[in-house]
Chain A
């Protein structure tokens, strides 16, 4: 299994996956810097972290999951390397599991970078602002907790997008489902059913009702593990013509 994980890591070298993974943190840094430097940002770290994570959980995190899983799957679909990868003397389920683990690892790394970029952009922008400082102390624990919980709640949507992207050769299928899911999520934000909608689970971590946030966490993780497990079994058993 370790050798499969190492092989999957090598496939990412010079790939679009890494370029796209770098985009959200760079965007967040640029935007955060400009907002802070122009005195349009909050003057409290707690507010800054909450608003930054809201953008991430509501929009950027699902979009990153859509793009990264689609590009990861295209590494095999585009050159049609499945016929080689799945003909190696390794259980097929292990091949797919290695891919799923990397999908989650990349998203974890992007989450960490986005969180760090949000904070660093504020620190970099403060000297250029009129006030020059925040009114409270930076709470790394709060930031880590929020982003980590959002990441866990996003396992469901990541698993769904990964499964669709891996199953279907066309990039358009996964991206269309993803865009459709994100669009419905915007409309369903305030609905009580929104809690059960995978694309909305990350942002539900910010719900004022702690029970709703905990349910989003449980559904996100449970649903994600279930989709990965069933999906890997299905992918391993189906024909790869």
Chain B
């Protein structure tokens, strides 16, 4: 029998009055992945996370955590989850260690486990200070430390980089990237920072207005968008003629030629193009392979969806 997935969502829907916050959201989170739940503010990410944690009920659909149906076996399902929802909700009158201690008490973990998660998040030295004195970055770390108590199979992080300065974002990225291997866990995180997630995630789900535009691996997402080659060459028109004769679709934007091709474009294509242009006496000033970023892909998909809806 195969090991159940850390998280499966099937056709999850939820409305607030006339507002449809989630509409048939489905996704499967593979074990050991860093799964990013992406979308602009108001896309329904936090609502979905609250449904996953049983904080709000879904109108339709199903959530399974480690094979347990959340609606039928809530405590068993949540036993394999650690979560930080929105800004890390901590008790400001308590120290970082005390915040961990009260969760550890409920989950029946000992003091050694508290020290372990403080070590993982590099919060040991600040652990005995009151949380009210912490910076946002420290609060995020102690929130993650609390979520890591007991080495949960699934770690849910809601906008973990929100409000952090660039150095804090970089540190948070390093921490998150290290977690699956170090803690033998799966990370499911929401974010509206698409460029940030691109550097961290292995899988993504793109959300827009409560619906998923795409769910799958980053590689699968990239494969949906053809790569292009950007060239700056002179004389430009000769270069255009040559490339069109070679079977490329050429678009001229400012000084740059953007090439797409029916077949897959790869590094070999780039080398071949360079050779062809130079042998034809054309000066090549710049030539590079360009793959669409998450942000561009998201915007393109959102644009396509809007077209379908209208």
CA distance in complex: A97, B77 (Å): 22
Residue of B nearest to A16 (CB): B93
Q: Write out the residue numbers on chain B whose beta carbons fall within 8 Å of the beta carbon of A75.
A: 91, 93
CA distance in complex: A79, B142 (Å): 14
In the bound complex, do residue B85 and residue A87 qualify as a contact, i.e. CB atoms below 8 Å apart?
Answer: yes
Partner of B90, one of A3, A10, A81, A88: A81
In the bound complex, do residue B50 and residue A84 qualify as a contact, i.e. CB atoms below 8 Å apart?
Answer: no
CA distance in complex: A89, B89 (Å): 17
Q: Write out the residue numbers on chain B whose beta carbons fall within 8 Å of the beta carbon of A3.
A: 105-106, 108
Residue of B nearest to A18 (CB): B93
How far, in Å, is A196 (CB) from chain B's closest CB?
36
Q: Write out the residue numbers on chain B whose beta carbons fall within 8 Å of the beta carbon of A82.
A: 55, 89
Q: Write out the residue numbers on chain A whose beta carbons fall within 8 Å of the beta carbon of B105.
A: 3, 6-7, 10
**A30-68 interface (Cβ within 8 A of B):** none
CA distance in complex: A86, B94 (Å): 19
Task: Tell me whether A91 is interfacial, beta carbon within 8 Å.
Answer: yes
Q: Write out the residue numbers on chain A whose beta carbons fall within 8 Å of the beta carbon of B101.
A: 10
In the bound complex, do residue B56 and residue A239 qualify as a contact, i.e. CB atoms below 8 Å apart?
Answer: yes
Task: Tell me whether A23 is interfacial, beta carbon within 8 Å.
Answer: no
How far, in Å, is B132 (CB) from chain A's closest CB?
9
Residue of A nearest to B150 (CB): A89
Q: How many positions in chain B have a CB within 8 Å of any CB in the partner chain? A: 33
In the bound complex, do residue A84 and residue B78 qualify as a contact, i.e. CB atoms below 8 Å apart?
Answer: no
How far, in Å, is A15 (CB) from chain B's closest CB?
5
How far, in Å, is B90 (CB) from chain A's closest CB?
6
In the bound complex, do residue B56 and residue A79 qualify as a contact, i.e. CB atoms below 8 Å apart?
Answer: no
Partner of B85, one of A13, A78, A84: A84
**Knowing A7-B106, A10-B105, A84-B83 touch, does A241 contact B50 (C-beta < 8 A)?**
yes
**Knowing A7-B103, A10-B98, A241-B55 touch, does A84 contact B93 (C-beta < 8 A)?**
no
In the bound complex, do residue A89 and residue B107 qualify as a contact, i.e. CB atoms below 8 Å apart?
Answer: yes
How far, in Å, is A134 (CB) from chain B's closest CB?
43
How far, in Å, is B64 (CB) from chain A's closest CB?
15
**B29-67 interface (Cβ within 8 A of A):** 50, 53-57
Task: Tell me whether B79 is interfacial, beta carbon within 8 Å.
Answer: yes
Q: Write out the residue numbers on chain B whose beta carbons fall within 8 Å of the beta carbon of A4.
A: 106
Q: Write out the residue numbers on chain A whose beta carbons fall within 8 Å of the beta carbon of B57.
A: 239
How far, in Å, is B120 (CB) from chain A's closest CB?
18
Partner of A11, one of B79, B81, B94: B94
How far, in Å, is A107 (CB) from chain B's closest CB?
20
Which of A11, A89, A90 has the most C-beta atoms of chain B within 10 angstroms of its own C-beta? Answer: A89
How far, in Å, is B135 (CB) from chain A's closest CB?
16
**Knowing A10-B94, A11-B91 touch, does A83 contact B50 (C-beta < 8 A)?**
yes
Q: Write out the residue numbers on chain B whose beta carbons fall within 8 Å of the beta carbon of A14.
A: 93-94, 130
In the bound complex, do residue A84 and residue B89 qualify as a contact, i.e. CB atoms below 8 Å apart?
Answer: yes
Which of A4, A87, A240 has the most C-beta atoms of chain B within 10 angstroms of its own C-beta? Answer: A87
**Knowing A10-B94, A89-B79 touch, does A83 contact B53 (C-beta < 8 A)?**
yes
Partner of B106, one of A78, A90, A239: A90
How far, in Å, is A65 (CB) from chain B's closest CB?
22
**A145-186 interface (Cβ within 8 A of B):** none
Which of A15, A78, A239 has the most C-beta atoms of chain B within 10 angstroms of its own C-beta? Answer: A239
Q: Write out the residue numbers on chain A whose beta carbons fall within 8 Å of the beta carbon of B146.
A: 84
CA distance in complex: A81, B89 (Å): 5
Q: Write out the residue numbers on chain A whose beta carbons fall within 8 Å of the beta carbon of B92.
A: 78-79
Residue of A nearest to B50 (CB): A241
How far, in Å, is B86 (CB) from chain A's closest CB?
7
Task: Tell me whether B76 is interfacial, beta carbon within 8 Å.
Answer: yes
CA distance in complex: A228, B90 (Å): 27
Task: Tell me whether B246 is interfacial, beta carbon within 8 Å.
Answer: no
**B219-278 interface (Cβ within 8 A of A):** none
Task: Tell me whether B299 is interfacial, beta carbon within 8 Å.
Answer: no
Q: Write out the residue numbers on chain A whose beta carbons fall within 8 Å of the beta carbon of B89.
A: 79-84
Task: Tell me whether B102 is interfacial, beta carbon within 8 Å.
Answer: yes
Which of B54, B90, B94, B102 has the most C-beta atoms of chain A within 10 angstroms of its own C-beta? Answer: B102
Q: Write out the residue numbers on chain A whose beta carbons fall within 8 Å of the beta carbon of B85.
A: 83-84, 87
In the bound complex, do residue B102 and residue A11 qualify as a contact, i.e. CB atoms below 8 Å apart?
Answer: yes
CA distance in complex: A87, B53 (Å): 6
- Listed in ascending order, the chain B residues whose CB lies under 8 Å from chain A are 50, 53-57, 74-79, 81, 83, 85-87, 89-94, 98, 101-103, 105-108, 130, 146
- Pull 9 A–B residue pairs with CB atoms less than 8 Å apart, ordered by A: A6-B105, A7-B105, A10-B94, A10-B98, A10-B101, A11-B94, A89-B74, A90-B75, A241-B55
- Cβ-closest 10 pairs across A and B: A89-B78, A83-B85, A239-B56, A87-B53, A81-B89, A89-B79, A7-B102, A10-B102, A14-B93, A89-B75
Other than the known A11-B94, A83-B86, what 5 A-B pairs have Cβ atoms closer than 8 Å?
A10-B105, A81-B89, A82-B55, A87-B78, A241-B56
